[in-house]
Amino acid sequence: MKGNTNEVIPLFTEEIRCRRCGRLLMKGHVRAVEVKCPKCGYIQVIAAVTTKK
């Protein structure tokens, strides 16, 4: 086995932004998190919507 490329590369593809001011809060895949914006102080719940109709 040639395990010379055994790096774990996270896929930070989703940008979570503040709903009020648009500041970038975090990147990554989020199921459900409550976060307070450091800029405007707006507390918001970010939850992944995976409902299938």
Q: Which residues bind Zn ion (CB under 5 A)?
A: 18, 20-21, 23, 37, 39-40, 42
For the beta carbon of residue 18, count every other beta carbon within 10 angstroms.
Answer: 19
CB 35, min distance to Zn ion, A: 10
CB 32, min distance to Zn ion, A: 19
Block residue for tokens 């009020």: 20
Residue 20 or 29: the one with the smaller Cβ distance to Zn ion is 20
Residue 23 or 29: the one with the smaller Cβ distance to Zn ion is 23
